[in-house]
Amino acid sequence: MRAVVQRVAECSVTTEGRVCGKIDRGLLVYLGVGTGDSEQDLIYLADKVVNLRIFTDSNGKMNLSVLDTGGGVLVVSQFTLYGDARQGRRPSYTGAAEPQKARLYYGRFTEAIREQGLQVETGEFAARMEVRYTNVGPVTILLDSTKTF
């Protein structure tokens, strides 16, 4: 599994003109599910996201997690995180999981975060969405459950 995690002051996602997810201060997580991903990848990545220390403490150091701050998490499914553009100009998405598996893991991922007591909002799986946010810092972290980066 792959995730792009951004620290945000606010964030919302709309589809067909309807807001389907919105948070104030917290994390925007773009989530991609790969063909070989397992339940272990899901657990690893959910734990990493909620415990990622990228919020500032009283000394101005990035030392707090979203759990510490009580922020929200907005999770948006994004198969394009598995886009491979190393050859040619059109990315290949063969590394992305098929939709049924991706939908299942997307749901389990959001539930794993909810179980930590956090407010979790989502986009709409497989829909064309518009994401609006204010990235604070800016802070953007790339995560991969296989620890490729």
Res. 25: pLDDT tops 90 = yes
d(CA 123, CA 113): 15
Residue 30 domain flag: yes
The structural domain count of the chain equals: 1
Give the global pTM: 0.97
Mean per-residue pLDDT over the chain, rounded: 97
Per the domain annotation, does 149 fall within a domain?
A: no
Look up the CATH number of the domain holding residue 62: 3.50.80.10
β-partners of residue 96 are 34
Identity of the residue numbered 64? L
Q: Which residues make beta-bridge pairs with 141?
A: 5
Mean pLDDT of 47-51: 98
Distance CA 112, CA 47 (A): 8
> Domain limits at 115?
2-141
Confirm whether 19 is domain-assigned. Answer: yes
Distance of CA 50 to the CA centre of its chain: 11
Enzyme catalytic residues: 78-80
